[in-house]
A and B are shown apart, each in its own frame.
Chain A
Amino acid sequence: MLHYKNGEPAGLVTNIQKYTIHDGPGIRTEIFFKGCTMRCKWCSNPETISPLRELGVYPSKCVRDDKCGLCVKACPLDGAPIRFDGEHILASLAMAQACADCLRCADECPGRAIKLWGELMTAEELMKIILEDLSFYRRTGGGVTLNGGEVLVQWEFAHELLKRCREQEIHTCVETALNVPTEHMEAVFEYTDLVITDIKHMDPEKHRAYTGAGNELILKNIRRAAELGMKLVIRTPVVPGHNNSDEEIRAVGRFLRDELGGRIIQYQLLPYRKMGTEKYDSLGQPYPMGDFVPPERSQWEANLLHLASMLQEEFGLPAVPGSGAKLEL
């Protein structure tokens, strides 16, 4: 999917995070793109799922209807989609989507209680921001990480942006679920130095139950990426009740050993943490894992350590708990 801004190709971006340190080596600038081909229940970036712009609403930042009212004044529908709980604005699914093509209220809202999720940015605009931290990338072997959503939904633009990074000799990393047409993946990998991807489950049905998609295409793409000689970091978000048993993780280990010949940079076991709930709220959506209570830190930490050492011992894989261990590139 390719977007345009004033006739120029553009990416639809939800967030640019500087000094990210856990998605690739060194100090990085990470860019989050909109649009996803999966619906993982634990997703902590719900604002990146829809491929279109959306409005997020943060009631706590609202100045209050009676003291401000700029959103209602700006609204071409006289404020019909905007609801208040008497004082503060309320988030609603209807507003998040219905108003996404107008945005006049978001433009006027002084405190950003109405926030636009999804800004169109050209490659040139993004490069300007990326280059601000060039000296920090150089020192640390860092660079740029494209993430989402599923960045490969916007594969044409990603290709163009990464090409420009390569021209500046900036290290490039793509974090993708790889549930995309193989040729899109291949196009973007032309300018990709490091790929971070997930194996969320080896069983297609369980995979579908928790992510809304089977894993066949994903595993095929991972094999293809390995064939292309891509440097791969594979992750599994370890979600209690979904994939946290020894057997389920062993299945991943078997795949990595037997099908990829263990040729990966690192295998990371990530904890499930209840994050991004405020973003679901802002979109007027319920959190998919609802009232699931995550285990205590001491519990999941111990389990991740156990699983990582199990994979090291049984499969000889470079398995680590978390994403903080140094990448040996």
Chain B
Amino acid sequence: MNTEAKTRSDAPLAIEPYDREWGVGVSGMTEDPSPFPRINKMLKWLKETDSTADSQRAMILTEAYQKYEMYPQNIKCAMALRDVLQGVDVRIWPGELIVGELAAPPNSAPIYPEFSVDWLIDEFDNRPMENRTNDRYVVSKKVQDDIRSIQPYWKGKTLSEAVLASYTEEEKKGSHLEKCVLLESLFMYAGVGHVCANYEKLLKLGFGGIKKQIEEKMAALDESLPGDVKKKEFYTAELIMLEGVKSYITRYGDLAAVMARAEQDPVRKAELERVSSNCRWVAEGAPRDFWEAIQLWHIATNMIIIETNGHSVTYGRFDKIFWPFYKHDIESGTLTREFMQELIEHAFLKMHQLRKIRDTAAIIFSSGTIMGGTALDVGGVDENGDDITNDLSYMVLDAHAHTRIPNPWMGVRLHKGSPREFKIKVFNVIRIGTGEPKIFNDEPMIQSLLNYGKPIEDARNYVGIGCVEPAVPGKTYGWHDSGSMNLTKVMTLAINGGRCIECSDKCPRWAKCGGAGTQLSIDTGSLETFTSFDQVKESFDRQMKYWCDKLISTINKIDFAHQRLKPLPYLSLLVDDCVEKGKDVSVGGARYNHSGPQGVGLGTTADSLSVIKQLVFDEKKVTGAELLAALRANWEGYEPLYALVNSDRMHHYGNDDDYADEIAQFVMNTYCRHIEHRPTPHGGEYMPGVFSVTNNVMHGTVVWATPDGRKAGEPVSDCIGPAHTQCCSHDRRGPTAIANSVSKLDMPRIGNGIILNWKFSPSAVSGETGRDNLIALMDGYFERQGMQSQFAIVGKETLKAAQKDPDSYKDLLVRVAGYSAYFVELSPELQNDLIGRTELSFD
């Protein structure tokens, strides 16, 4: 056996060669991708298992809330979650080497009535989830009845109701409830998530070590001080929590022991015995080898999600966290490299079993039944700035090639010192076409954290939360996707006197808005009267300030509601400095606190303003009034103008054309200026992001026609990329021009991250030449401080074929935005948006 473990090495010792190719654009369309037959078998089983909902968590929690009503909220929450962890059924599934569920069976979503319950019953009554074309759930009558039975208790007690009661008319008008200028509701109907636990600490101390720290802190309190009384409450909640944790993990150990005794197959029997001892040990103890470590890491993360269903609970930097265990086991001969490879693949399958039910409105635009945001990073530099790439970095990438499922959401950190062999591995996996992994550029990512005051060591240790949001693992509670601003809608208000372009008596707000002689927003001028482009820019700036104030005031209300109603005693065990400060993570216990709302529709907004500048002010081909009239008519009767604004005669963002690119910078900087560094209720600062995930489709539905040649209701541009309309794509000059345009933006200013979606036809990246050119393209983009990239490498023809014949393309995994999903499970709206993105093809 080779007992060498390699780090910072050109010649990794993974089980696959570093330059293994798996094909280009083949995606998941392959039988038995893993060299481990058991993994292939479990993959099939998971894919055949319907998604369901499970009521057990909801029932136990509801009973506990009633029982513990008299306690302070954090203790009540701790007791309720403890009861859940002690009371839910536990199961071990055939072949599993890593155990632990989400307080529900695999592919089953638990229910979180504390956030909201009415919407779920509304779905049961009016839109049965088994009839959904995508995000289908089969919910049994028993579960439905259970949820109905607890609805009366929760009436008026849920977090969403508390927030809604606090909204003023002014806040409602632009919110998700009315005109959707902004979307602020993600954390209103569900938990926050978007966090990475301090796994290095947990794996070093175990839960027992954390318990000891709490007991020491508790012993030092002086209860004559009012502040210490609050801390006492906090520590009490933490200890209650640890009872639940111990019980939950131990119960899996006990079950495994029972199953081992009954097992006939000696190999499986030995495995179950080991699973049993793993669980019984890590229920309190610090893990002693890779297997125990991965078991603890997995189940500790699941408990974060059992506590709150916020998505984007992140798994951290795998190759950094597990390196000491891997190295020890290889060198001592405890476990083989092959076996650890299989364990990683088992862990991926466990992530793939997590489910979160979303409502009908949400799934049209953000499909995929999966939990979402199971981010896991490899590569990059350590606290000292040295490359950490090691055998595990390669093994994690191989694990994706071996499973081809959309979990985890993989990120690769690259920097100037990343080994060439590693890049080859990364791009060979990218070229499979599943959309995994995305790549981060360390330099601007680290700079973005420095811009928000992090010490250099912490900045270098960043992890991408969920989609792409930079955070310090184990120290940041970032509220990373707290809302989004429809930049395009704001632009339309800025050119039409604060009125919606489509303003008419058909609008539900008409009586109190347009019909009452007023308008949705403040009047900052109109294209009918502007005499210079500077006036347009000034108007956009004033509108942006107005709506950013509204976005922040609504997010603040949601933040306060979480502080009051949903303290997180379990998560507080795992995020610094909650235990140190004696403070729950929801009220500012974390070392770093943020709130990160995204700007959506950058490309559409930039192109619209660019068209206005060029046609109305520079070339004077149309008047502002004519352009507005064309928009109001949704371009009908203005077909030549529609063709013109979509044509290459216009300056459009994404073509390495300063005219339009400078306007994109203006749009981005205007949004950032009105968001960045403002205080959040739980401490810390707001920081903007510029990505839409799939929200660009949603935001597009509420925006009427726009000057860039977009018709009413079409999606706005996705993430930080160029726009495409029904008529055509606005980027015409290929990938180098996109790289040059996008990298003109000051990305490190965007503290909450960016996404750039690339779409290549397989032929454009095939062969060694195609691979090396793609690597060079990214090197060039990164040298210009481009921050992130992700890739869709599946031909347009394949996508269209899959739309027609979904049954033959069930395994076609594609990049959606911040994540990958099975194409045939996406809504038609989203499928069309993906097909419409520019495909860079060079036959």
Assembly CA distance A20 to B733 (angstroms): 11
Contact string, B614-658, partner A, CB cutoff 8 A, digits 1/0? 000000000000000000000001011111101111000000100
CB contact under 8 A between A21 and B770, given known A27-B776, A136-B776: yes
Residues of A within 8 A of B769 (CB): 21-22, 25-26, 324-327
- Asked whether A324 lies within 8 Å of B767 as measured between CB atoms, the reply is yes
One of A59-67, A230-238, A248-256 at the interface: A59-67
CB contact under 8 A between A110 and B734, given known A140-B772, A325-B767: no
Select B776's contact among A26, A110, A327, beta carbons within 8 Å: A26
Q: A308 CB to closest chain B CB, in angstroms?
A: 14
Assembly CA distance A21 to B842 (angstroms): 7
- Asked whether B783 lies within 8 Å of A135 as measured between CB atoms, the reply is yes
Select A132's contact among B656, B776, B843, beta carbons within 8 Å: B656
Q: A82 CB to closest chain B CB, in angstroms?
A: 15
Assembly CA distance A81 to B740 (angstroms): 42
Assembly CA distance A200 to B637 (angstroms): 52
Residue A111, interface by CB 8 Å = yes
Contact string, B357-371, partner A, CB cutoff 8 A, digits 1/0? 000000000000000
CB contact under 8 A between A19 and B734, given known A27-B777, A67-B640: yes
Residue A275, interface by CB 8 Å = yes
Contact string, A27-40, partner B, CB cutoff 8 A, digits 1/0? 10000000000000
- Asked whether B780 lies within 8 Å of A135 as measured between CB atoms, the reply is yes
Assembly CA distance A325 to B768 (angstroms): 6
- Asked whether B773 lies within 8 Å of A110 as measured between CB atoms, the reply is no
Residues of B within 8 A of A19 (CB): 734-736, 773, 777, 840, 842
- Asked whether B740 lies within 8 Å of A275 as measured between CB atoms, the reply is no
Residue B766, interface by CB 8 Å = yes
Assembly CA distance A206 to B722 (angstroms): 48
Residue A322, interface by CB 8 Å = yes
- Asked whether B643 lies within 8 Å of A110 as measured between CB atoms, the reply is yes
- Asked whether A20 lies within 8 Å of B639 as measured between CB atoms, the reply is no
Assembly CA distance A17 to B734 (angstroms): 8
Contact string, A72-99, partner B, CB cutoff 8 A, digits 1/0? 0000000000000000000000000000
CB contact under 8 A between A111 and B646, given known A18-B733, A68-B640: yes
CB contact under 8 A between A110 and B843, given known A18-B733, A21-B773, A27-B736: no
Assembly CA distance A136 to B656 (angstroms): 14
Range of interface residues on B (Cβ < 8 Å): 35 or more
* Identity of the chain B residue whose Cβ is nearest the Cβ of A26 in the assembled complex: B773
Residues of B within 8 A of A112 (CB): 643, 647-649
* Identity of the chain A residue whose Cβ is nearest the Cβ of B740 in the assembled complex: A132
- Asked whether B733 lies within 8 Å of A324 as measured between CB atoms, the reply is no
Residues of B within 8 A of A27 (CB): 736, 773, 776-777
Residues of B within 8 A of A67 (CB): 637, 639-640
B385-425 with Cβ < 8 A to chain A = none
- Asked whether A326 lies within 8 Å of B736 as measured between CB atoms, the reply is no
Residues of A within 8 A of B802 (CB): none
Residue B568, interface by CB 8 Å = no
Residues of B within 8 A of A70 (CB): 640
Q: A297 CB to closest chain B CB, in angstroms?
A: 11
Residues of A within 8 A of B835 (CB): none
Q: B343 CB to closest chain A CB, in angstroms?
A: 37
CB contact under 8 A between A63 and B639, given known A19-B773, A322-B767: yes
- Asked whether A140 lies within 8 Å of B773 as measured between CB atoms, the reply is yes
- Asked whether A132 lies within 8 Å of B640 as measured between CB atoms, the reply is no
- Asked whether B639 lies within 8 Å of A132 as measured between CB atoms, the reply is no
Residues of B within 8 A of A26 (CB): 769, 772-773, 776
- Asked whether B776 lies within 8 Å of A64 as measured between CB atoms, the reply is no
Q: B164 CB to closest chain A CB, in angstroms?
A: 47
Residue B737, interface by CB 8 Å = yes
B551-586 with Cβ < 8 A to chain A = none
* Identity of the chain B residue whose Cβ is nearest the Cβ of A140 in the assembled complex: B776
Range of interface residues on A (Cβ < 8 Å): 20 to 34
Residue A160, interface by CB 8 Å = no
Residues of B within 8 A of A20 (CB): 842
Contact string, B713-742, partner A, CB cutoff 8 A, digits 1/0? 000000000000001000001111100100
Residue B289, interface by CB 8 Å = no
Q: B622 CB to closest chain A CB, in angstroms?
A: 11
Residues of B within 8 A of A110 (CB): 640-641, 643-644, 647, 649
Residue B296, interface by CB 8 Å = no
- Asked whether A326 lies within 8 Å of B768 as measured between CB atoms, the reply is yes
Select A326's contact among B648, B649, B764, B767, beta carbons within 8 Å: B767
* Identity of the chain B residue whose Cβ is nearest the Cβ of A23 in the assembled complex: B842
Residues of A within 8 A of B733 (CB): 18
Assembly CA distance A322 to B733 (angstroms): 25
Residue B779, interface by CB 8 Å = yes
Contact string, A111-147, partner B, CB cutoff 8 A, digits 1/0? 1110000000000000000001101100110100000
* Identity of the chain B residue whose Cβ is nearest the Cβ of A139 in the assembled complex: B776
Assembly CA distance A61 to B644 (angstroms): 11
Assembly CA distance A195 to B843 (angstroms): 19
Residues of B within 8 A of A18 (CB): 733-737
- Asked whether A132 lies within 8 Å of B736 as measured between CB atoms, the reply is yes
CB contact under 8 A between A136 and B734, given known A110-B643, A275-B843, A325-B769: no
B644-692 with Cβ < 8 A to chain A = 644, 646-649, 656
- Asked whether B639 lies within 8 Å of A68 as measured between CB atoms, the reply is yes
Residues of B within 8 A of A22 (CB): 769, 842-843
Assembly CA distance A67 to B643 (angstroms): 11
Residues of B within 8 A of A132 (CB): 656, 736-737, 740
Residues of B within 8 A of A322 (CB): 767
Residues of B within 8 A of A327 (CB): 769
- Asked whether A64 lies within 8 Å of B639 as measured between CB atoms, the reply is yes
CB contact under 8 A between A63 and B772, given known A19-B735, A27-B736, A133-B736: no
Q: B676 CB to closest chain A CB, in angstroms?
A: 30
Residues of B within 8 A of A273 (CB): 843
Q: B647 CB to closest chain A CB, in angstroms?
A: 5
* Identity of the chain A residue whose Cβ is nearest the Cβ of B766 in the assembled complex: A324
Residues of B within 8 A of A325 (CB): 767-769
Residues of B within 8 A of A63 (CB): 639-640, 642-643
Q: B626 CB to closest chain A CB, in angstroms?
A: 14
Q: B367 CB to closest chain A CB, in angstroms?
A: 31
Assembly CA distance A110 to B776 (angstroms): 37
CB contact under 8 A between A136 and B639, given known A26-B773, A110-B644, A325-B767: no
Residues of A within 8 A of B773 (CB): 19, 21, 26-27, 140, 142
**Which of B727, B733, B737, B769 is the most central at the interface, judged by chain A CB atoms within 10 Å of its CB?**
B769
A275-328 with Cβ < 8 A to chain B = 275, 322, 324-327
Q: A316 CB to closest chain B CB, in angstroms?
A: 22
Sorted nearest first, the 7 A-B pairs with minimum C-beta distance are A324-B767, A111-B643, A110-B644, A18-B734, A110-B643, A139-B776, A140-B776
Show 26 A/B contacts (Cβ-Cβ < 8 Å), sorted by A.
A18-B733, A19-B734, A19-B777, A21-B773, A22-B769, A27-B773, A61-B643, A63-B639, A67-B637, A67-B640, A70-B640, A110-B641, A110-B643, A111-B640, A111-B644, A111-B647, A112-B643, A133-B736, A136-B780, A142-B773, A324-B766, A324-B767, A324-B770, A325-B768, A326-B769, A326-B772
Q: Interface on B for A, CB 8 Å cutoff?
A: 637, 639-644, 646-649, 656, 727, 733-737, 740, 764, 766-770, 772-773, 776-777, 779-780, 783, 840, 842-843
Besides A63-B640, A273-B843, 20 new A-B residue pairs in contact (Cβ under 8 A), listed by A number: A17-B734, A19-B736, A19-B773, A19-B842, A21-B769, A25-B769, A27-B773, A27-B776, A68-B639, A68-B643, A70-B640, A111-B643, A111-B644, A112-B647, A136-B780, A139-B776, A139-B780, A324-B766, A324-B768, A326-B769
